[in-house]
Structure 1
Amino acid sequence: MSNIVNTVWIGKQLGPVHAACLRSFLRNGYDVVLHSFGMPEDAPEGVRLFDASKLMSLPEVDAFRKTNRLAFASDIYRYRIQRENMGLYVDCDVYCLKPFEENDYVFGWESSKLICNAVLKIPSGSRLLQKVLEASEDLHFIPPWLPARKRNKMALRKKLGFPVHVADQAWGVIGPQLLTHYVRELELTNHASSIDSFYNLHFECTGLLYEPGLSVLDLATRRSSFLHLCNSRLKPSGVPAGSPMHEILNE
């Protein structure tokens, strides 16, 4: 197992859930490298800062901030981490249950149809990384999985100087949808981990995090190394004692 894990945060404060997730990796022996434009005020002790401006400029970030699509900037950034061969990437809302035995490729199914990129490692010289980098760096990317009629319309707009920006396209267009498409195209699905490795907590089941009487391990299986907490679905306050979220926040 490599003991380095990279994560990205844009902002002055992580918040209690993200800070708890970083602590979980520290507890499990990981060297946590936080890519940020300045260390957040509430970063746990032991986290190392990497200056994110070395891989992405603030104007690039601001372009997505204006459209409230910072997740797109994060998608691009994680591929650049892979380009620089810096090791495993995880989202800040991924909670570590136990160390994970890494291979050259690390990604996992979050459903029967979609591979998520919240936990990611791709060989820097691979065809897969070349494909996702090329696509994600094109801000007017035309998804090849769309119906031909729609692709043709987007191509015409692009040619006439009125392209469709990725920030105006569907969620995941340079994230899970992109990764899934090229993993399938390049016949790399054998490298995808099972759903319960990282994504056993379905986003529609995040309410279980607030159920008293359950523990974090009740939401996992013996094969689960990490637990993606699906931050967008989490409650900002009101964490009951004796619930999995209470356990996460107080460990």
Structure 2
Amino acid sequence: MRNSLATLWVGDRLGPIELASVASFLRMGNPLTVYSYAPIQNLPPAVQARDANEVLPTHRIAVYAREQSPSLHSNFFRFALMRNTDHTWVDLDMIALRPFDFPGDRIYGYEKPDQVNCAVLRLPKSSPTLADLSKLTAGTRGIAPHINGLRRAKYWVKTLGRGVPIDRWPWGSTGPRALTAYLRKHDELKHALPLEVLYPILTRDCRRFVVPGDLSDASFGEETKAVHLTASNINKIIKAEFGGEIPEDSFLGHHVAKARAAGLT
């Protein structure tokens, strides 16, 4: 059975990467719901639109102070999605190569040898990891869970025991780093999927997705369900190296073309 997928989008339009991601999931037959706090002008008709307030009511989108990124709020939302629905969370910079038909109520995978990512996430409602992640809110103040030992002690001393506001925690502290730390704490890391299933291309090598003639769907084995583009990095590379245009003869270019052929752009 195909997994029912869902995500959150902050903004009124999807970009070419997001539309390519949506198209890939629809091609694989996975139902997709996109939650938002305001209407999305170019959301494809085959995607179910839902009010994000159904999952996580809010009057303000939480952002990281330094990056001004709503990734912070997205992390709070994905944990609420685990608590309140039976969907599997997906980031809209995942490109599905095969149907998502994972058995069971756990879906998370390694993105590097010592860390899992939450770009694809499903946790059972009874998971102690989910319970800990759910304690993270916009009002949280403390030390990021992945910071340990002497470094953690130094943070407490430096902040006179008050800790740091969550919006000033290091990048990833409420996402992959927190997920990995809590999975390890509760002995749930053993359920993580191997790296090649969801993250066969490391983030440091994400440029390969836009290099003409490099990667194609055929570059990946049958064990690979999807790849993670890491849109924040890819967009910088496209702007710096390709004049803001996605190279047509690249992995991403081919998937943008498939979305366009399906009438999604």
Q: With the length of structure 1 as denominator, give the TM-score of the two structures.
A: 0.89
**Counterpart-to-counterpart distance in 2, 1:151 and 1:138:** 20
How many Å separate the matches in 2 of 1:141 and 1:218? Answer: 45
* Counterpart residue number, 1:124: 125
Distance of 2:146 and 2:64 partners within structure 1: 27
Mapped to 2, the partners of 1:135 and 1:4 lie a distance apart of 25
Superposed displacement of residue 154, structure 1: 4.8
Question: How many angstroms does 1:96 deviate by?
Answer: 0.9
1:28 counterpart = 2:28: yes
Shift, 1:13, TM fit: 1.1
Unaligned runs of 5+ in 1: none
The residue that corresponds to 2:261 in the other structure is none
1:16 aligns with 2:9: no
Unaligned segments of structure 2, at least 5 residues: 259-265
Match of 1:105 in 2: 106
Q: What is the 5 A alignment of 1:1-251? A: 1-61=1-61, 63-64=62-63, 68-102=68-102, 103-136=104-137, 139-152=140-153, 154-155=155-156, 163-234=163-234, 235-236=238-239, 237-251=244-258
The one-letter code of the counterpart of 2:247 is: P
Instruction: Give the distance between the partners of 1:50 and 1:12, measured in 2 at CA.
Output: 14
Taking the aligned partners of 1:143 and 1:215, their CA distance within structure 2 comes to 36
- 2:55–2:84 contact (8 Å) kept in structure 1: no
Q: 1:249 to 1:145 in 2, by over 3 A?
A: closer
Quote how far apart the aligned CAs of 1:159 are: 7.7
- Matched residue type, 2:227: L
Between the aligned partners of 2:215 and 2:150, the Cα distance in structure 1 is 49
Q: What is the letter of the counterpart of residue 222 of structure 1?
A: E
Looking at structure 2, the residues matched to 95 and 144 of structure 1 have their Cα atoms a distance apart, in angstroms, of 30
> Which stretches of structure 1, 4 residues or longer, exceed 4 Å deviation after superposition?
152-160
**Cα distance change on mapping 1:159 and 1:49 into 2, 3 Å:** farther
Check whether the contact 1:220–1:227 (CA below 8 A) recurs between aligned residues. no
Instruction: Quote how far apart the aligned CAs of 1:222 are.
Output: 1.9
1: CA distance, partners of 2:87 / 2:134: 16
| The 10-residue stretch of structure 1 (121-130 or 109-118) with the greater mean CA deviation from structure 2 | 121-130
What secondary structure, in the 3-state scheme, does the structure 2 residue paired with 1:123 have?
Answer: coil
SS in 1 for 2:134: helix
Contact kept in structure 1, 2:145 and 2:173, CA below 8 Å: no
What's the CA shift for 1:153? 5.4
Q: What RMSD in Å do the two structures reach over aligned CA positions? A: 2.3
TM-score by length of 2: 0.85
Identical-pair percentage = 24
For the residues of structure 2 that align with 1:121 and 1:144, how far apart are their CA atoms?
20
1:140 offset after TM fit, Å?
1.2
